[in-house]
Amino acid sequence: MVGLISYGAYIPRWRMDLGLAGARGERSITGPDEDSVTMAVAAVMQCLKGVDRSKVDGLFFASASSPYTEKQMSTLIAKAADLREDIMTADFGSSTKGGTTALRLAADAVKAGSARQIIVVASDCRMGEPGSEHERNCGAGAGAVLVGADNVAVSIESSMSVANEIFDVWQRKKDTYLNSWESRFDLAFGYTKSMGEAVGGLMKKDGLTAKDIAKAVFYCPDARTTIGMAQGLGFDPMKQVQDGYMGTIGNTGTASPLLLLAATLDEAKADDNILLAGYGNGSDVIRMKVNKAIEAKGRVSVKAQIQSKLNVSDYFTYLKWNGLVDLKDAKMPYVLTYASAPPTYRERERLYAFHGTKCKQCGAIEFPPQRVCAKCRAKDEFESVTLSDKQGKVFTCMQDPLTGQMEGLINLDGGGRVYCNMADCTMKTVQIDTPVEMSFRKIVLVSWDTMISYTWKAVPLRVNG
């Protein structure tokens, strides 16, 4: 039986009050050091809580806002998640249904025996033009599932796809923002048509009616259209359709189905029938059945992540974070460092997998990895330890007076000290002894770098309840 072994989601802490854009409600936005890749890593880390990652044979990354046109990001995400290197990786771009398509293909690969387990992660932070409906609707987030054949908590029962060649939403390589046609056309002949064909088609094929489904998880383009589409298929939108969180998160694009699925699974019961449907130039629908609740110590629920938030202070800051204003008076950085491929490659275990060393002689855990132990001076007698999933406490910290960037020394639980930047906090919210965890983030070395640099930073703990 093939299905889901685990799942996870990530919603950035940052929100924009849509009052800043002349509308109501709020939506999630990426912080200044987040993108679709960092959010994907965060969702994968949630998905891997309590999971033996050595059995993971593949990682699929789906996103319409991957930072590169050419350069696979699933490899980077897999490395950040400290997966093996003899695995299959693939990126699914260009369509917001990429996540559900990747999930179908992952299930097929597992079923065919070409992989034991595959992580599917979908992440998006699509940009709408300032003042546009897309700007008001688009949110940022990521969702991940681990597909396998053993110890399956949610079995995949059946699936179906339809293709729909239409210009409803599109973005050329050179476009900063989403383009779309008139929304009445888009939603009628794009979303509503394809979702109806796929969902209706699957239920007909499986001999089911709407009342057989405990929860329908639908890609959600806006606050209204999903409700109308669901009603048309016979669902009770209030009871049977997963809330799209349009007033709090927004449309997370490719991430939408898997992120909303995580919210459903947070509260699902055994024997629940779940429908999952994605949209983007067609639709995929997957029917699943819950065998048992997926409990994982430390996984933070979608609801808790929605509640754990920070509001961006003003619209200029939002523009600045997204590189949408030229900062001509930007000063030279104090540390003039630039991205370089060889050290980034050479140090990928430190940089991405966040490995430290543990001395076999004295047991000291040290980061970055050392050749000679700082404590006992033993040479080359270390084993690697993964520090990305460790929690810790602030030993001391400070905010850069020029950039506002936080930095600090973090003492990790179980040993080891990390000197790193910190994110999603200020000197008002963290101090000596504040509990923290590690988060994969972007770092801008110099503005003219064409390689994006990433690093692990410390962030305040996010917890359930």
Partner 1 sequence: MGLKNEVAVIGMGCTKFGELWDKDVKDLVVDACYEAFDDAGIQSTDLDAAWWSTMYSGEMGRSLAYPLKLDYIPVTRVENRCSGGQDAFINACFSVAAGAYETVLVCGAEKLKDSGISAAGIDPTTPYTHRGDIMFVPPGAFAQIAQRYFHHYGIDPKEGKEALAKIAVKNHYHGSLTPKAQFQKAITIEQVLKAPMIAPPLGLFDCCGVSDGCAAAIITTVEKARKMKKDFAVLKGFGFSIGHYQASIEDDWPFIYFEENVRAAQMAYKMAGVTNPRKEIDVAIVHDCFTITELIICEDLGFSEHGKAMEDVHKGTFELKGEVPVNTDGGLKCFGHPVGASGIRMLYEVYNQLMGRAGKRQLDNVKLGLAHGVGGTPIDSSTGAVVILGKPD
Residues that bind partner 1 (CB under 8 A): 331-340, 342-344, 347, 350-351, 364-368, 370, 374-375, 395-403, 405, 407-409, 411-412, 415-421, 427, 432, 443, 445, 453, 455
CA distances from 448 to 31, 204, 337, 339, 374 (A): 20, 55, 11, 10, 36
Cα Rg for the chain, rounded, in angstroms?
A: 22
What's the min distance (Å) between Cβ of 353 and partner 1?
A: 14
Contact, 13 vs 424, CB < 8 A?
yes
Instruction: Output DSSP code: residue 166.
Output: -
Neighbours of 238 (CB within 10 A): 9
Q: How far is the CB of 432 from partner 1 (least distance, A)?
A: 5
Least distance to partner 1, CB of residue 400, Å: 5
User: Smallest gap, in angstroms, from Cβ of residue 338 to partner 1?
Assistant: 6
Which residues are CB-neighbours of 71 under 8 A, at least 6 positions away? none
Identify which of residues 238 and 341 has a Cβ nearer to partner 1 in the complex: 341
Structural tokens at position 225: 């259209």
For partner 1, the closer CB: 214 or 409: 409
Whose Cβ is closer to partner 1: residue 11's or residue 365's?
365
| Min CB(346)–partner 1 separation in Å | 9
Please give the Cα distance from 15 to 28 (Å, whole number).
4
Given the complex with partner 1, which of 238 and 330 has the nearer CB atom? 330
> 123-160 b/e with 16+ CB inside 10 Å = b?
bbbbbbeeebebbbbbbbbbbbbbbbbeebbbbbbebb
Q: Rounded to whole angstroms, how far apart are CA atoms 7 and 24? A: 31
Q: Which residues pair with 154 in a beta bridge?
A: 4, 290
Scan for tokens 């990682």, then name that residue: 59
What's the Cα-to-Cα distance from 374 to each of 57, 177, 217, 427, rounded to whole Å? 36, 50, 52, 30
Name the residue nearer to partner 1 (CB basis): 54 or 396.
396
Shortest distance, position 385 Cβ to partner 1, whole Å: 13
Task: Give the nearer residue to partner 1 in terms of CB position, either 311 or 396.
Answer: 396
Q: Which is nearer to partner 1, 1 or 376 (CB)?
A: 376
Residue closer to partner 1 (CB basis): 22 or 404: 404
CB of 18 to partner 1, least distance (A): 31
Minimum CB separation of residue 370 from partner 1 in Å reads: 7
Provide, rounded to whole angstroms, the least separation between the CB of residue 431 and partner 1. 8
Residue pair 255/276 in contact by the 8 Å Cβ criterion = no
Q: Which is nearer to partner 1, 106 or 420 (CB)?
A: 420
- The DSSP string of 400-434 is -TTT--EEEEEEETTS-EEEEEE-S--TTT--TT-
